[in-house]
Each structure stands twice: as structure tokens, then as C-alpha cells.
Amino acid sequence: MDYRTEAHTILTSISYNILPNWSISSDLAYTMGRGDITNFDDFNSHRYDDAKLDLDVSSVNPNMPYLYDAAYTNQMDSYSDLDYEQLDFNLSTSYIMDNGIGLHFNYTLFYFDDQDPYVYGDQGNTVHVLSGFLSYRF
């Protein structure tokens, strides 16, 4: 059995002072990830077919009535491949007044695209977060 995982991330960031007391910054990260298992036939070299445990544990865990047994991997002809894209974007600004009071605003975008959903279904989602706060420096 061969298993391969890889992830590539590109990250960029920028910050700029518009005025001496007003700044803006942004960063962007993009990730592509992939993982896969091949050559499942290698499991067939392990002949567990006649040695399945079949131990009924439904009284302890009704969601999993039988214990996991390596014998069942011989019956698998495919497996979940990992294939996703992720984008994280952040934009923020800060303004500090002469009396030490500051205003800060932040926007964040989280985007995740599950391109090969399998076991848990499609995990893709987009989240927007807008926040602001007031600060005082002394």
C-alpha cells in the first residue's frame, strides 16, 4: 500500500502606514492539499478472511456493533482521497488618536473547499468575521 500526502501554501502579506497614526494591513494564504492511498491489493497478501473477530460489542457501543478487524480491509476497493483548497484572507486597519485611544477594525475570510468528500460528507464552508474594538494606551 502506498500513501502520499502533500500540501502547498502560498502566503503574502502587506502593511502600509497611510498616516503616522493610521495603518492598514492585509494577508492572504492559499493552500492546496492532497493525499491518497493506492495499491489496496497489498492488503490481500494478509489473509485474515478466516480470522474475523466478529465480537459483538453492541451493548457497549450501539454505533459500532463489531470491533474493528484488519480482515475487513480486504473488502475495500476504494478509500477516501484527500483533496482540498483553503483560502484565508485578513484585512485590518488601526487608527490611534493623540490621546492614546485607538480604533481597530478587522475583516477575515476563511474559505475551505473539500473537493473529494467521502467519509464525513462535504466539509467545505465559507466563514466571514467582522470585528472591531477600542483600545487605550497609557
Instruction: Tell me, yes or no, whether 6 lies in a domain.
Output: yes
Quote the CA–CA distance of 137 and 34 in Å, as a whole number. 46
Instruction: Tell me, yes or no, whether 127 lies in a domain.
Output: yes
Average pLDDT over residues 62-81: 60
pLDDT of 80 strictly over 80:
no
Average pLDDT over residues 99-115: 94
Instruction: Tell me, yes or no, whether 63 lies in a domain.
Output: no
Distances 65 to 56, 57, 59, 123 between C-alpha atoms, Å: 6, 5, 8, 26
Instruction: Tell me, yes or no, whether 131 lies in a domain.
Output: yes
Instruction: Tell me, yes or no, whether 70 lies in a domain.
Output: no
Instruction: Tell me, yes or no, whether 92 lies in a domain.
Output: yes
Average pLDDT, the chain: 81
pLDDT at 20: 92
Average pLDDT over residues 68-72: 56
**Dihedral over alpha carbons 62, 66, 69, 71 (to 10 degrees):** -130
pLDDT of 50 strictly over 50:
no
Average pLDDT over residues 43-50: 50
Range of the domain at 123: 2-41+80-136
Instruction: Tell me, yes or no, whether 73 lies in a domain.
Output: no
User: Which carries the bigger pLDDT value, residue 105 or residue 61?
Assistant: 105
Quote the CA–CA distance of 13 and 123 in Å, as a whole number. 27
Instruction: Please report which confidence band the pLDDT of residue 48 belongs to, taking 50, 70 and 90 as the band edges.
Output: very low
Half-sphere exposure of 61 (CA within 13 A, CB side): 9
Average pLDDT over residues 80-85: 82
Average pLDDT over residues 41-55: 53
Instruction: Tell me, yes or no, whether 84 lies in a domain.
Output: yes
Total tally of structural domains belonging to the chain: 1
pLDDT at 39: 65
